[in-house]
Amino acid sequence: MNKKILCVDDEDSILRGFQLNLRKEFELSVASDGVEGLEIFEKEGGFALVLSDMRMPRMNGAEMLSEIKKRDHEVSTILLTGHTDFDSAMAAVNDGNVFRMLSKPCPPERLIKVLNDGLEQHDLVKSKRILLDQTLRGAVDALAESLSTAKPLFFGRVQRVRKLANELADSMNLQNSWRVDVASVFSQIAYIGLPENVTEDVYFKRKVSSQVKQLLAKFPDDTQNMLEKIPGFDEVGEILKKIEVQPRYEEDDQKGIRLAASILRAALDFDFYEEQGHDKQIILSTLKNRPNDYDPKVIVSLEEKISISESNSMLMDVTVKQLALGMRLVEELRMKDGFLVASAGSYIDRQLYKVIRNYSSCFDENPFPSKIQVRALIS
């Protein structure tokens, strides 16, 4: 169990008391006010619990703990307060920024018990998140793989959008970023039911018949129906509903739904324009010039990610036997008879690598082009 605790109080005598009574049982750091507490929390990191006095100069305890919860929503927080601070302290508890509240003075044995309760709460929250993340990742990977042979074009899009959206979510410190990962897959999952003869037309947004338009119009509801059957996926559905909503009409919410939807829309649209053959810098410039349609903060982060990706990779021509995990196809991968195996931009992950090897094993001669253009990371 993580026993790293940050204690914040503006009275030296109380900080010394913390060190005297707590240092044997806990890994202790101290700060003399809220501003210093935030600095230490960000600099040292890895805290399981923060204990703070309420009344302090520069920044009170409730304000500091609120800022800390924004940085790490899993950390446990405990507020020490006097009778005169009760109302404002209770408001912090009701806002969800404080796990427990203690009255001053607090006996050491009582304090130690509450600290252990807080550490157990942190451990429980973290363990639940890890279990949920692993379970979800496995389920989502299985869903994505179901697209790999049935609809390789949309599988490629899932691969690329999922990777880009996850990177954006991480760089923007989005809480519960697993929702973006899941939403990336579910944004395309309904296309598995498309008739094969119209798949490419739909994928490239070409003109289609009224019957196909009617079919496509049902896909969002079909996706929502799937999500409703999976416990805990309600926020994923909310993200998908908000993709086409312009960010200027909605302020970001505490749950991060608005930001998640903005990230996914930027990733989807960037991928679509790139598939059309447009230059990356022209796409970025276009998105940047549409602040009503795209969250400017997301586009700035997108621009940084694309720049790093371009500088860390190089173009190569390889044989099918030289394909390696992590490479990205520059062009569509088709068999010599024209059958599409993977769309341009697809990453060679374990599933696609397995598919390619399976196809190769079914032929006496190489069924793929002699040379395949890829983009590979510079080692």
One domain for residues 304 and 252: yes
One domain for residues 273 and 234: yes
pLDDT digits (tens, 9 = 90+) for 286-342: 999 999 999 999 999 999 988 877 777 888 999 999 999 989 999 889 999 888 898
Q: Can you give the pLDDT at residue 248?
A: 78
- CATH number for 16: 3.40.50.2300
Q: How many domains does the chain have?
A: 3
Q: Is residue 328 part of a domain?
A: yes
Domain boundary among 295, 311, 327: 311
- Per-residue pLDDT band for 237 (boundaries 50, 70, 90) equals very high
One domain for residues 244 and 119: no
- CATH number for 231: 1.10.3210.10
Cis peptide before 367 (omega within 30 of 0): no
Give 196's contacts (C-beta < 8 A, 6+ positions apart): none
One domain for residues 287 and 160: yes
Q: Is the Cβ–Cβ distance between 286 and 270 less than 8 Å? A: no
> Torsions phi, psi of 252, nearest 5?
-65, 140
Q: Is residue 131 part of a domain?
A: no
Q: Is residue 366 part of a domain?
A: yes
* 101 beta partners: 79
Q: Is residue 41 part of a domain?
A: yes
Q: Can you give the pLDDT at residue 269?
A: 96
Q: Is residue 224 part of a domain?
A: yes
Q: Is residue 141 part of a domain?
A: no
Average confidence (pLDDT) over 55-73: 88
> Torsions phi, psi of 3, nearest 5?
-115, 25
One domain for residues 104 and 185: no
The amino acid that residue 299 corresponds to is I
Scanning the chain, the segments in alpha helix (DSSP H) are 12-22, 34-44, 61-71, 86-94, 108-150, 152-171, 178-186, 199-203, 210-228, 234-241, 257-275, 280-288, 296-311, 350-361
- Per-residue pLDDT band for 111 (boundaries 50, 70, 90) equals very high
Per-residue DSSP letters for 93-144? Answer: HHTT--SEEEESS--HHHHHHHHHHHHHHHHHHHHHHHHHHHHHHHHHHHHH
One domain for residues 166 and 33: no
Domain boundary among 255, 278, 311: 311
One domain for residues 339 and 201: no
Domain boundary among 256, 283, 311: 311
Q: Can you give the pLDDT at residue 241?
A: 94
CA quadruple 101, 106, 112, 117: dihedral, nearest 10: -20
One domain for residues 352 and 306: no
Model-level pTM? 0.64
One domain for residues 99 and 232: no
Q: Can you give the pLDDT at residue 96?
A: 55
Give 98's contacts (C-beta < 8 A, 6+ positions apart): 62, 65, 77, 78, 79, 89, 92
Q: Return the structure tokens found at 335.
A: 């068999």
- Compute the chain's Rg from CA coordinates: 26
The whole-angstrom separation of Cα 87 and Cα 64 is: 17
Q: Is the Cβ–Cβ distance between 26 and 50 less than 8 Å? A: no
pLDDT digits (tens, 9 = 90+) for 11-41: 999 999 999 889 889 999 999 999 999 999 9
Q: Can you give the pLDDT at residue 345?
A: 85
One domain for residues 32 and 115: yes
Whether 285 has a pLDDT exceeding 90, the answer reads yes
Share of the chain above pLDDT 70, in %: 94
Q: Is residue 129 part of a domain?
A: no
Domain coverage including residue 199 = 151-311
Q: Is residue 217 part of a domain?
A: yes
Q: Can you give the pLDDT at residue 89?
A: 60
One domain for residues 70 and 104: yes
One domain for residues 303 and 344: no
Q: Is the Cβ–Cβ distance between 327 and 318 less than 8 Å? A: yes
